[in-house]
Structure 1
Amino acid sequence: MPPSRPTVLLTGATGVIGAGLLPALADRYEVVCLVHRRRPEGAIDCVPADLTAEDLGLSGRQRRDLAARVDVVVHSAALTAFAPPDLTAFDDINAEGTRRILRLAENAGVPVVLLSSAAAVFEAAGDDLTARSMRAYSHSKRRAEELAAQSGLPVAVVRPALLFAARSATAVPQHQFPHALFTAMLQGRTGGLPIDADHWCDILPMETLVDYVVALTEAQLRGDVGAPGIHWATAGPARLTAGDMERACLALLEELGRPAAGQLLSAPDPARPRTHGMARLAQLGFQPPTRPALPTDLRRLLPAQPTRGEVLEALAHNVRRCAGLPAELAAQPSGS
């Protein structure tokens, strides 16, 4: 008997975003996961595949079976490493992998929700490895969006900002920029990071992104004419500054009984340009106050845009998790 609910084909279910999307989508739809190495926790129906292989490494019969079963594709698989050994891996996975997913969707005649990145529209300056890696990532996401536009399919492209870990996550993604930054700041090294306190970085609570993608998936299934196209999923005017992050880390260090000897940030020194490490990554990841906030489209499908208070609460929770506090203690920010 065929399933009574629509079927979503989900990629990247073991990734930071996909791990949040899987249970949220499974609450409403049948979900088939394309998996590479690991079976996602909670997944029921999995199909082994490879984004770097032609036809995703699937046999003709497997492709026909998927085409007959699925009603929409949610493509969240991507390479997001800081600096992989081979920078061409970004294009192989993020762009060419998207091309193969789009071909599968075309064969199935179904719409697509494509998780891209706000980085698709930015260009990191510099010739150091960190800058070149960020450019390679940005270019791969931009090319994936171009392939989606050329496909002729109804593709909804989501450009998320950086993301806080979900409150339900068993562990924070230490390899992701925000959490690597918080971990570095929690070392309490005075003036350790050369970032201006008024420079900003857009970080969105994971739960907000998941809610938006689920709502967008529903809109694609309904055939809403406004669903295809670009969707910015950002904190927008609720963006955080480096000073906000510094204060959250200083407050927790004080609470834990190991206060920092001074401020954690220092003004960048033009005479000592940074070319690698967290300092360089942070300098590229933060924007000056003269640059306007990122656009946001969350109100298109959600009842409200996250407030600054909600984003600060997510910051406090994530900082506490980066300090190694268990989830139940991390849920009690300083002063509670």
Structure 2
Amino acid sequence: MPPSRPTVLLTGATGVIGASLLPALAARYEVIALVHRRRPESATTCVQADLTAECLGLSDRLHRELAAGIDAIVHCAALTDFAPGDLTAFEKVNVQGTRRILELAEAAHVPVVLLSSVSAALDLPGDDLPAHCMRAYGRSKRQAEELVAHSSRPVAIVRTGLLFAARNAPTLPRHQFPHALFDALLQGRTGALPVLPDHWCDIIPMETLVEYVTALTEAQLCGDTTAPGLHWATAGPARLTAADLERACSDFLKETGRPVTGSLLADHATSRTRSHGMGRLAQLGFQPPEQPCLPSHLDRLLPTQLTRSTVLEALRHNVRRCTPWAS
């Protein structure tokens, strides 16, 4: 008989990252998907649980059985809605949910790969609701990371920036930035984006993150002592500017017979601070040119760092999948 494959517990398997990560992990390992309501289509084994409940909402017996049957945990589940209505929901899901996953890892004596966000390292200005929501989200991710210090298990934290949809994704996550931003820009309204051309944001292809997390999971399973700790999965120097996004959207509009007569970016005189909507989220998501690029550790486990040409190609591909006028 062939040797049995390691078993990885994956949380958030129906989310934006988890849905792309699940088939990559399933190609190498047995995967148990920890789900709340929806069952991922490609999962063979699912355990229904609740991150907001003690013991994940499982009985003591089921919790012990789950712990006894896994070799590693990849924790992707998180609340990412920037308008949750109740800001305490970030703490309930992202902080206490992570605490319960780390408790499961302690009981199972297994390593963990924890998906975090670059938002954990940011402190955004502003007193409006979008700024409060994004700060609450970032604070919850930072507090989740801080829990790792109290765990005896090897934990690898992956801070990732924004993500392009995977090329093979059946649909785009249109409710999430940056795809909601692409939809807004493709309305073709001049001056629609109140961000200056040289301001930047960090976006990487989903495939790059999946490849990195898969390699990191393997390193954790193999007991690689360099795997635990903080990993930045970002574009780094390959970051994109607002001008890059504007150009990709303008080119696509021209190709589809909807050319724009002016710039999709607001000029300096009208790029005032917005208080709500996509314009405000964009202003919070873009950084000024004097802000240094984010660290990037992708070449720790991947052959090379990301290049601007690779990121620009992912940008063009994602923009061309957005056709808001057809919706």
How far is the alpha carbon of 1:135 from its aligned partner? 0.3
**Matching of residues 48-67 of structure 1 within 5 Å:** 48-67=48-67
How has the CA–CA distance of structure 1 residues 174 and 3 changed in structure 2, closer, same or farther, with 3 Å as cutoff?
farther
1:3–1:30 CA contact under 8 A, matched in 2: no
2:273–2:283 CA contact under 8 A, matched in 1: no
Distance 2:255 2:153 in 1: 53
Report what 2:26 is aligned to: 26
Report what 2:44 is aligned to: 44
The C-alpha deviation readout for 1:220-242, integer Å capped at 9, x for no partner, is 00111100000000011110000
Report what 1:128 is aligned to: 128
Give the TM-score normalised by the residue count of structure 2.
0.97
How far is the alpha carbon of 1:82 from its aligned partner? 1.7
Distance 1:325 1:163 in 2: 23
2:195–2:271 CA contact under 8 A, matched in 1: no
**Matching of residues 201-216 of structure 1 within 5 Å:** 201-216=201-216
1:149–1:155 CA contact under 8 A, matched in 2: no
Report what 1:100 is aligned to: 100
The C-alpha deviation readout for 1:97-145, integer Å capped at 9, x for no partner, is 0000000110000000000001100011111000000000000000000
Distance 1:194 1:325 in 2: 22
Are 1:83 and 2:80 counterparts? no
The C-alpha deviation readout for 1:259-304, integer Å capped at 9, x for no partner, is 1121000135589531111111101100011111100001000001
**Mind listing any 5+ residue stretches in structure 1 that lack a counterpart?**
327-336
Distance 1:78 1:212 in 2: 19
Secondary structure at 1:116 match in 2:
strand
1:237–1:293 CA contact under 8 A, matched in 2: yes
How has the CA–CA distance of structure 1 residues 260 and 226 changed in structure 2, closer, same or farther, with 3 Å as cutoff?
same
The C-alpha deviation readout for 1:80-104, integer Å capped at 9, x for no partner, is 0121110110111001000000001
Are 1:143 and 2:151 counterparts? no
Distance 1:88 1:52 in 2: 12
How far is the alpha carbon of 1:149 from its aligned partner? 1.9
**Matching of residues 188-267 of structure 1 within 5 Å:** 188-267=188-267
Report what 1:6 is aligned to: 6
Secondary structure at 1:322 match in 2:
coil
**Matching of residues 146-185 of structure 1 within 5 Å:** 146-185=146-185
Amino acid at match of 1:98: T
Distance 1:188 1:272 in 2: 20
Report what 1:329 is aligned to: none
Distance 1:205 1:12 in 2: 19
Secondary structure at 1:177 match in 2:
coil
Secondary structure at 1:172 match in 2:
coil
2:11–2:34 CA contact under 8 A, matched in 1: yes
How has the CA–CA distance of structure 1 residues 259 and 23 changed in structure 2, closer, same or farther, with 3 Å as cutoff?
same
Give the TM-score normalised by the residue count of structure 1.
0.94
Amino acid at match of 1:140: S
How has the CA–CA distance of structure 1 residues 274 and 150 changed in structure 2, closer, same or farther, with 3 Å as cutoff?
same
**Mind listing any 5+ residue stretches in structure 2 that lack a counterpart?**
none
Distance 1:132 1:14 in 2: 27
Distance 1:152 1:75 in 2: 17
Distance 2:208 2:193 in 1: 29
Distance 1:274 1:183 in 2: 19
Q: Runs of 4 or more off by more than 6 Å in structure 1?
A: none
Secondary structure at 2:32 match in 1:
strand
1:111–1:221 CA contact under 8 A, matched in 2: yes
Distance 1:275 1:59 in 2: 46
The count of residues paired between Structure 1 and Structure 2 equals 326
Distance 2:282 2:271 in 1: 18
Distance 2:250 2:323 in 1: 12
Distance 1:2 1:140 in 2: 43
How has the CA–CA distance of structure 1 residues 272 and 307 changed in structure 2, closer, same or farther, with 3 Å as cutoff?
closer
Amino acid at match of 2:107: N
Are 1:287 and 2:301 counterparts? no
- Please give the root-mean-square deviation of Cα atoms over the aligned residues, in Å: 1.6
Distance 2:250 2:169 in 1: 24
